[in-house]
Structure 1
């Protein structure tokens, strides 16, 4: 991506953030004086006072770790993301900027898998060209260019592997074969996993390559003397999922603050006057959910599971309600972290070409004792209070709660951790000048 394109993307992101928060602020009905008091209070609380991650140890992942092993670490540690460390950093280095390369999370893995599937589909659609004399390497190059995929060597390798798997498995190029991930899975069938997970170079693809390719979770740290208002704004208005905490001049992170940790901290404030005065409000008083029912993105239980992950990728969201019927009765939930089941237990999903969301959920439930507890969709009613929502999010350790109405539990909206955090604070004028100044200076030292 050239510099002009990067600037346009950054501008679009900033506009999106501003539009989101303007909507949040305009729909709130809390007394302005209360919100100002809370904002001022959080602006005085230093980040250093926030509780450490559970166990006091930050789990990180080396850049040389394979994607499969990284997913296993995230799954076994029951975390959504982890900082990526540079194994080439000098042992005696005291600079955190040399130690950390970025953050790996399930969203980056989804992007990697789906982009890989799309390139595989393109390669298959070009198989006839290969038979006419165009080499498989050329097909890989064409695929990389056509799809704008990053990491051309890896992309070319996948295209070659896809064509090889197709020929070996007797999969012929068919007219109208698409370039999207679900079509790729459908036409590759059981060979999908052989291509994506078992064939080189993808079997040994490293975290380093994915972190460089997909910057969906930027590494933007705050200092230990920053304020909790800064962290809360980054996790709400500026749409970060986690905030690394560093001590300038020190090699290792001091803390790793997530949206979930903030919600758990708010839940711990139950019983205090300022919290209870806000928590007692019905969610409708706060404009929650911040969307109309027509804007809700969902997935029908009869659709392909890969389409669910693709929809999350396309809309840049972390989860989808699984619905049935014309009234969109909620019957389950799919989140980006569920891709770990596909990556860690591919032998259980061999019938991938016909695998629906409903069958995927049933399979997960049948193996839940082995790979982790499966949570049903967490819901609330339109008349629920903010306190009820916070309690459910914190106690169930989930990232979103679906708003339902009527006897049939028709889903009409979703409330995320980000939405809840935004209810407590607003951004004072010119507040981030100092923070972004600090961030820019730190990056320039690199």
Structure 2
């Protein structure tokens, strides 16, 4: 992709950001004077005053760490993402050299799903070989059918998948490619063994995943920046986290996440400006910022891999599990739940037809004693914003579902939505305060 295409895509993305924020601003029933006062107040708060991450030290992951070990680190530290460092540039004073990106569960999901699709193509191509297509065409078929741009280890994956198919005597349709859920359904144990337990999961370096799936760019602010910049990046510009760099130095001083900001807002309870907004029902703030037919959900009877594919396709971090024609909510899936498939696939006995319902039951039984599995968090249209913030902060969740009668899901409120309620973007703010970092990002 050349730079002109990059610029076109960037322009289209910016339009999407503007449309989201225009919707937010048009639906808020708050006095303009209050919004201006709050925006001005956040613009006067330095980033350096924001609380540090727990323990005071940002968790970093070396670019040479395997995907398997990366998932373990994220899981053990109970975090969704971490900056990835180039150890060859460990002594550099330039953050652009030291940090190559951010790894999070969304990138890992993309990597797993692409690997699954390539495995399906390779296995299908094996059958095609018997039909006279030719073994040498397997790699080409994969690239053409999927437009593959993933890790270099994908070549090894295709070879391993073909080997597993031949050794196991698997019968695969002669179609030239299937999607990830179909692959999981039809290939059963061998699919999981190839994708998750053996290669390339254990050997692929996180560097390759970050290079291939840049869904979370490394876009830092300095300790001298203001909190309005951070809040805009986390809300309007859809960043899940914002690295903080001290001017003239390469090491991160902080890592501000959407969750940390919402916890910070919860800590403002009792202050006049917060209580004034928090007392409003969510409907007064235009929440949820979607119609009920825009809610992306998954039926409990569908395949678990389809749930992760749906999150990938819609660029979301979670979705409600529903049942029946009324779409009654019965559970919640987060993108981080893929760690259970990656780290403990042996606990899921029915690989061939692993449904969302079966997955949730197994995970619940695994984590019941640890208390990590909770029912989906819901609210009604007349719930106050303060109560929504309290639920998100106290239960450490990233979304709350708005339900009507009989627990029908009619909307979703995310951390991003909550942050958006407190600010607006002053004229030309993007060009004046975010332009430099954005240019650096595009030039990398």
Instruction: Identify the residue that residue 192 of structure 1 maps to in structure 2.
Output: 191
Pair 1:418 & 2:416 matched: yes
Q: 1:317 to 1:222 in 2, by over 3 A?
A: same
Residues 97-143 of structure 1: per-residue CA shift (max 9 Å, x gap): 22111100000000000011111111122222323565545302320
Is the CA contact (8 Å cut-off) linking 2:161 and 2:194 kept in structure 1?
yes
State the alpha-carbon separation in 2 of the partners of residues 313 and 382 from structure 1: 28
Q: 1:347 to 1:224 in 2, by over 3 A?
A: same
State the alpha-carbon separation in 2 of the partners of residues 108 and 424 from structure 1: 29
State the alpha-carbon separation in 1 of the partners of residues 295 and 218 from structure 2: 29
Q: 1:30 to 1:71 in 2, by over 3 A?
A: same
State the alpha-carbon separation in 2 of the partners of residues 355 and 443 from structure 1: 40
List runs of 5+ in structure 1 lacking aligned partners.
none
Pair 1:280 & 2:285 matched: no
Residues 388-432 of structure 1: per-residue CA shift (max 9 Å, x gap): 0000000000000000111x1111100000000000000000112
Instruction: Identify the residue that residue 425 of structure 2 maps to in structure 1.
Output: 427
- What SS does structure 2 have at the residue aligned with 1:432? helix
State the alpha-carbon separation in 1 of the partners of residues 199 and 305 from structure 2: 22
Instruction: Identify the residue that residue 9 of structure 1 maps to in structure 2.
Output: 9
- With structure 2 as the length reference, what TM-score do the two structures score? 0.96
State the alpha-carbon separation in 2 of the partners of residues 322 and 441 from structure 1: 40
User: 1:104-253 alignment to 2 at 5 Å?
Assistant: 104-132=103-131, 136=135, 138-151=137-150, 153-176=152-175, 178-253=177-252
Is the CA contact (8 Å cut-off) linking 2:120 and 2:183 kept in structure 1?
yes
Q: 1:65 to 1:178 in 2, by over 3 A?
A: same
Q: 1:151 to 1:301 in 2, by over 3 A?
A: closer
User: 1:317-356 alignment to 2 at 5 Å?
Assistant: 317-356=316-355
Instruction: Identify the residue that residue 35 of structure 2 maps to in structure 1.
Output: 35
Is the CA contact (8 Å cut-off) linking 1:300 and 1:322 kept in structure 2?
yes
Shift of 1:173: 2.4
State the alpha-carbon separation in 1 of the partners of residues 312 and 407 from structure 2: 26
Q: How many residues are paired up?
A: 444
Residues 170-203 of structure 1: per-residue CA shift (max 9 Å, x gap): 1122255752111111121101122112343443
Shift of 1:152: 6.4
Instruction: Identify the residue that residue 305 of structure 2 maps to in structure 1.
Output: 306
Is the CA contact (8 Å cut-off) linking 2:125 and 2:174 kept in structure 1?
no
State the alpha-carbon separation in 1 of the partners of residues 387 and 270 from structure 2: 13
Task: Single out whichever of 21-30 and 419-428 deviates more from structure 2.
Answer: 21-30
Residues 197-231 of structure 1: per-residue CA shift (max 9 Å, x gap): 23434430010000000010000000111000000
| RMSD over equivalenced CA pairs, Å | 1.9
User: 1:387-398 alignment to 2 at 5 Å?
Assistant: 387-398=386-397
State the alpha-carbon separation in 2 of the partners of residues 269 and 236 from structure 1: 19
Is the CA contact (8 Å cut-off) linking 1:221 and 1:246 kept in structure 2?
yes
Shift of 1:10: 1.6
Shift of 1:240: 0.4
Is the CA contact (8 Å cut-off) linking 1:140 and 1:156 kept in structure 2?
yes
Task: Single out whichever of 150-159 and 111-120 deviates more from structure 2.
Answer: 150-159
List runs of 5+ in structure 2 lacking aligned partners.
none
Is the CA contact (8 Å cut-off) linking 2:380 and 2:403 kept in structure 1?
yes
- What SS does structure 2 have at the residue aligned with 1:376? coil
- What SS does structure 2 have at the residue aligned with 1:254? strand
Q: 1:191 to 1:159 in 2, by over 3 A?
A: same
Instruction: Identify the residue that residue 63 of structure 1 maps to in structure 2.
Output: 63
Q: 1:443 to 1:308 in 2, by over 3 A?
A: closer
Is the CA contact (8 Å cut-off) linking 1:136 and 1:163 kept in structure 2?
no
Instruction: Identify the residue that residue 254 of structure 1 maps to in structure 2.
Output: 253
Q: 1:222 to 1:355 in 2, by over 3 A?
A: same
- What SS does structure 2 have at the residue aligned with 1:260? helix
- With structure 1 as the length reference, what TM-score do the two structures score? 0.95
